[in-house]
Chains A and B, each alone.
Chain A
Amino acid sequence: MRRLGFYIILVIVGLYCLGPFLWQFITSLKPAAELTTLPPLLPQSPTNENYVSIFKDHPFFRIIANSIVVATSTTVLSLVIGSLAAFALAKLEVKRKGLILAFILSVSMFPPIVTVSPLYIIIRALGMRDTLLALIITYTTFSLPLTIWVLTSFFRDIPHEIYLASRVDGCTAFQSFYKIILPLSTPGLFATAILVFIFSWNEFLFALTFTSTVASRTIPVGIALFPGVHEVPWGEIAAASVVVTIPIIILAFAFQRRIIEGLTAGAIKG
């Protein structure tokens, strides 16, 4: 009896989490005429016309490609820059370490809206409006606190003796960084990479402000500004939502453990 109750709770929690997405998926299969009739809940004559249309009538290929470039570059850049800094903070004797960590953490508290107007002016002055590079630099900056924080905690878990031994054996600090510490913390790097990728895939405020054409538009902006002629094209929006969410859902299923590890490492040490 208790067991049954527990499984009922599981089903409720599952439906609560998945329900809205399932509904979006069902909507994406409906032809335009069926969108405005409810019931029936399920599509009577399921169609892929919404999916065809977002790629044929709308530049969704380009938008998705932009997002992939931005999210991947941001992930690589933040990992490179962030792991270097995290290594120094975890393994080297750095003066005012507490202050540096506090500064990095305080940056993660920054409301994006505060920096959006000056950054816009700077980017415009540099002629970088509507470029992917502007987004990559901004996202890297805002991912760095999380990256450094999580990686520092992973690097600290590696026994200090291992690092010292490598130095005694003649490694330079940099060699022991990339030959010893990095390979030992692959799970941490992985967890961080996924979190940064998801953040850059989903970011909206800067993308909305810095981009003006399809040349640099990313997925969130593409979906928020989805053009409609007379009314909102719910079927196409639903199809676009499904297409861009599926990679993220695959990530969530494949790396659930890593994502949660990264989240908790970031939170607990904070």
Chain B
Amino acid sequence: MSRKRNPKIPPFLSPIQSGMPQVLGKPHFFFLAPALLILAGVTLYPLFYVLWLSLHRRLIIFNISKFVGLENYGFLLRDERFWNALYNTVYFTGASVFLELTLGLGAAVLLNRAFKGKGIMRSIILIPWVIPTVVSARMWEWMYNPDYGILNYLFEANINWLGSPFWALNAAVFMDVWKTTPFVALLLMAGLQTIPVDLYQAARVDGASNWYIFKRITLPLLKPMILIVLIFRTLDAFRVFDAIYVLTGGGPANTTETLSIYAYKTLFQTLQFGYGSAIAVTVFFSVAIITIFYVKLLRRERE
């Protein structure tokens, strides 16, 4: 935007504006090189390395490293534990993102007005999001405690939250919803601020109901922001590791084991670097596919 030809700039400067500066030298390399080098070294190179590893049978402790082609991936297809982890990951992602978006949207719409103490309220809303994930997992683990947990006490229930296959994954979803709904709400609130107030006033003058206004003004105008939030949340949820790893360790009976946790355990507990890498690579490609899908949606939205 700021690059556009500005009539206020005297004409003798215009070559600098249009083409940019042969005159001024080309120091770009100096500015960009450190960032690009470290990004290439610590992310791109490991990415190729992990693809290479996933084609090997590699057991570090026995010093075994053998090229096996796509064998690991073939085994993956027949590995029930892998499909179970994939199911858990998809369920966790779908359920938590859906709840976070609905609750976050509700909270954003409700809080999108001027009131006393709004700044403090926004800080309070930030807290679940800034608390370290590990700490929040420990907090919820204690609240979920079947005997001395406050949740069973408050709801006068007797639920074995983290011990029962049915509840455990949902318990992880609830924790994630608690932690990241605020993030969703804050971003959507920022999005709401960009909707012109006169649109609402005009609609009210025309006698539109709240629901109609929400459906016809808020939602369509907020859609790009909703999509952005969806990208962030879906990718984060799909990669989930710390939250569940600390809360349940993947148990009971692998019912909360996600792809990242399965990959981690295969890599660092059973020390199968080849097979673990193959699982990790599937996470990478899933995330890439999700990203491409969303970016296409977003592009269409912007056109």
B222 to nearest A CB, angstroms?
12
- A127 contact set on B, CB distance < 8 A: none
A-B contact number at CB 8 A:
283
- A186 contact set on B, CB distance < 8 A: none
- Prevailing SS type, chain A contact patch: helix
Bound Cα distance A109, B290 (Å): 10
Q: At the interface, yes or no: B32 with Cβ under 8 Å from chain A?
A: yes
- A201 contact set on B, CB distance < 8 A: 132
For residue A87, which residue of chain B has the nearest CB?
A: B31
A45 to nearest B CB, angstroms?
17
Q: At the interface, yes or no: B219 with Cβ under 8 Å from chain A?
A: no
- Prevailing SS type, chain B contact patch: helix
A37 to nearest B CB, angstroms?
8
Within 8 A of A (CB), among B1-58: 1-3, 6, 8-9, 13, 16-17, 19-21, 24-25, 27-28, 30-32, 34-36, 38-39, 41-47, 49-50, 53
B39 near A107 (CB under 8 angstroms)? yes
For residue A158, which residue of chain B has the nearest CB?
A: B2
User: A115 with B21: in contact, given A24-B142, A223-B138 (CB under 8 Å)?
Assistant: no
A36 near B147 (CB under 8 angstroms)? yes
Task: Bin the interface of chain B by size.
Answer: 35 or more
Bound Cα distance A248, B135 (Å): 12
B108 to nearest A CB, angstroms?
11
Please report B residues at the A interface, Cβ cutoff 8 Å. 1-3, 6, 8-9, 13, 16-17, 19-21, 24-25, 27-28, 30-32, 34-36, 38-39, 41-47, 49-50, 53, 107, 110-111, 115, 119-128, 130-140, 142-143, 145, 147-148, 150, 153, 178, 182-183, 186-187, 190, 225, 228-229, 231-232, 235, 238-239, 241-242, 245-246, 259-260, 263-264, 267-268, 273, 276-277, 280-281, 283-284, 287-288, 291
Known: A87-B31, A141-B43, A205-B241. 14 other contacts (CB 8 A): A20-B139, A84-B30, A84-B32, A85-B34, A93-B20, A117-B277, A118-B45, A118-B53, A119-B46, A121-B273, A137-B38, A173-B27, A204-B241, A260-B122
